[in-house]
Chains A and B, each alone.
Chain A
């Protein structure tokens, strides 16, 4: 990754001439890199306006007591000015340590962590298993692949509704269980089963992405490595352990990180599976924050945004540790 020659412009970087003044450097830098900056400008502008500004603004909101009753709004022709006031870090204090903080934040936090770990482990495990099977020489491989990516091809909100019908009290799943004389859990009412079905549906939705990514990784492993291992008398397990897994390392480190981030922030599945205002115990932090901000009256914008900031900090801290860990093990794919 450390290339001394800029590949597009062919210019050499890192000349150690005497260091020019700041103005000169800015001008030189602009001349040297303006192609690059022109090309990334749209993304930087869009992200700056649509992510950067809301982020700053959202962070400011967390320091106030804004809700839908005291924010600026227009009713008919009357414009009402915002009356919320600055209250410092009170929102954070209240969320993390206030009364009933366990019920409001920590229980959701623990469940979110469990949800993320369980889902990503299942995605990865099942995805890897299926990718290994699809990577074999096999008749009908294409057909299997087409069928297996279906959960990804059909929009999530469609499939989640389908699951909702199937999991309903008298839905088909319970009818099948009933005809087999097995217990029929209340999938969408009981807390444990709500969590169970949320993980199940998310696993169903998330496996194809992992499977395809890992399949790509498997196909890029040099087959001569397997031949060499076989010559040395490696068993199937040893080949898997010492050729396949190391070969997948860089793909895995990327998709696992993406999987963790996406699952942690997975909004659609829980939001649509349980509908509005039900299943308070199965809400992960994202959906819970949305409930606070948009799912209740009065809408509590400040606390909702404070949850957002907390979520983002958790993920940022996690990601930087993850990168440090990868760097130490020299597995960075980026």
Chain B
């Protein structure tokens, strides 16, 4: 058997190599392939970038009607919208509210999600399956059913128009997915580490805080980002629960520029750009971990 295959390989190379003049190595591709790849990615990046870039461009036009004649803006760039927004609107208040709500959600949410994720990753207890189901299904809860009873609860507790209400609500929407995500990440940390910690006399909590949490930093970063962006981007509850306009978060504040009678798109664009900056910065700080953190659990199977 072995001799025949040897013979074949010795006589066959000419026809096999014929269709392509040069045998390509793995991962190599022709100029056309590379151009196609670059072309595809460039077009996609352009589409991804365009709305944000356009917003930035519009924010430089000083007049209210400029968005109708975008070509004119190029001749009269100015940052007057920005100074107006910073000086004459509630921007700084909104910024403060948003940061309180978002950072509060991130801190509490990540901590709670981490303990839960660790528990469901390492321990099997009665109720385990039900908990996993609940974590998944809470994401399916439509706000329509929750918002009225929540409004009642919070008004009875006197929490309407406070940051706590929003922090708690954002936690309840962001934590289930974060816990799910972190469970996946904890699953990739070898159990031997826990065992070593246990042997050395750490309690389960000690193992978790001293060994696992430091190792899970990429996963935690992703969870933190998810919590942060959920809290910043939350619209429905913030619109309904915040009454005092000095407590508005960005999501509510931005809507005030556009009413039925009047749309101040230039100020809105400037505000939107100002909002996007801190979030985007935060995003790019964690983005290195994003790919591994997101799929750590899913890929394991």
Contact = CB atoms under 8 A, between A and B. Distances in A.
A250 B254 contact: no
A275 interface: yes
Contacts of B27: 136-137
A167 to B, nearest CB: 10
B1 interface: no
Contacts of A307: 142, 144-145
A289 B301 contact: no
A304 interface: yes
Interface string B118-150: 111011111000011011111111111111111
A171 B296 CA distance: 42
B70 A33 contact: no
A175 B67 CA distance: 12
Interface string B100-124: 0000000000001101101110111
B223 interface: no
Interface in B253-301: 254-255, 258, 265, 268-269, 272, 275-276, 279-280, 283-284, 287, 290-292, 294-301
A159 B113 CA distance: 28
Q: In terms of DSSP, what is the predominant structure of the interface of chain A?
A: helix
Q: How large is the interface on A (under 10, 10 to 19, 20 to 34, 35 or more residues)?
A: 35 or more
Given A149-B287, A165-B265, A37 B147 contact: no
B235 A272 contact: yes
Contacts of A294: 147, 240
Given A3-B124, A268-B235, A271-B236, A162 B116 contact: no
A182 interface: no
Given A156-B233, A254-B298, A261-B139, A293 B51 contact: no
Nearest to A137: B27
B45 A7 contact: no
A308 B204 contact: no
Contacts of A99: none
Contacts of A208: 48
B299 A217 contact: yes
A204 B45 CA distance: 11
Given A40-B115, A43-B116, A9 B26 contact: no
A286 B198 contact: no
A315 interface: yes
A89 interface: no
A13 B250 CA distance: 51
Q: In terms of DSSP, what is the predominant structure of the interface of chain B?
A: helix
* Residue of B38, B41, B168, B175 with highest tally of chain A CB at under 10 A: B41
Contacts of B301: 249-250, 333
B55 A138 contact: no
B119 to A, nearest CB: 4
A7 B134 CA distance: 23
* Residue of B141, B207, B287, B298 with highest tally of chain A CB at under 10 A: B298
B216 to A, nearest CB: 14
Contact of B145 (A13, A216, A305, A333): A305
Contact of B172 (A50, A170, A172): A50
A36 B125 contact: yes
B74 interface: no
Nearest to B288: A142
A147 B287 CA distance: 12
A308 B142 contact: yes
Contact of A162 (B55, B148, B207, B235): B55
B152 interface: yes
B45 A55 contact: no
B52 interface: yes
Contact of B175 (A43, A163, A268): A43
B294 A212 contact: yes
Given A258-B139, A267-B236, A319-B140, A153 B123 contact: no
Given A58-B149, A159-B52, A162-B272, A9 B44 contact: no
A165 B136 contact: no
A166 interface: yes
B295 A47 contact: no
A138 B140 contact: no
A155 B250 contact: yes
Nearest to B113: A43
* Among all A-B residue pairs, the 3 with the closest Cβ atoms: A308-B145, A216-B295, A289-B144
5 contacts: A55-B145, A55-B146, A204-B48, A216-B292, A308-B146
Interface of B: 26-27, 29, 34, 37-38, 40-42, 44-45, 47-49, 51-52, 54-55, 58, 67-68, 70, 112-113, 115-116, 118-120, 122-126, 131-132, 134-150, 152-153, 168-169, 171-172, 175-177, 179, 191, 194-195, 198, 203-205, 207-208, 229, 232-233, 235-236, 240, 250-251, 254-255, 258, 265, 268-269, 272, 275-276, 279-280, 283-284, 287, 290-292, 294-301
Given A161-B268, A165-B54, A265-B142, 17 more contacts: A6-B122, A40-B120, A43-B113, A43-B135, A50-B150, A58-B146, A147-B45, A151-B51, A204-B48, A212-B291, A251-B298, A268-B233, A289-B144, A294-B147, A301-B148, A308-B145, A316-B140
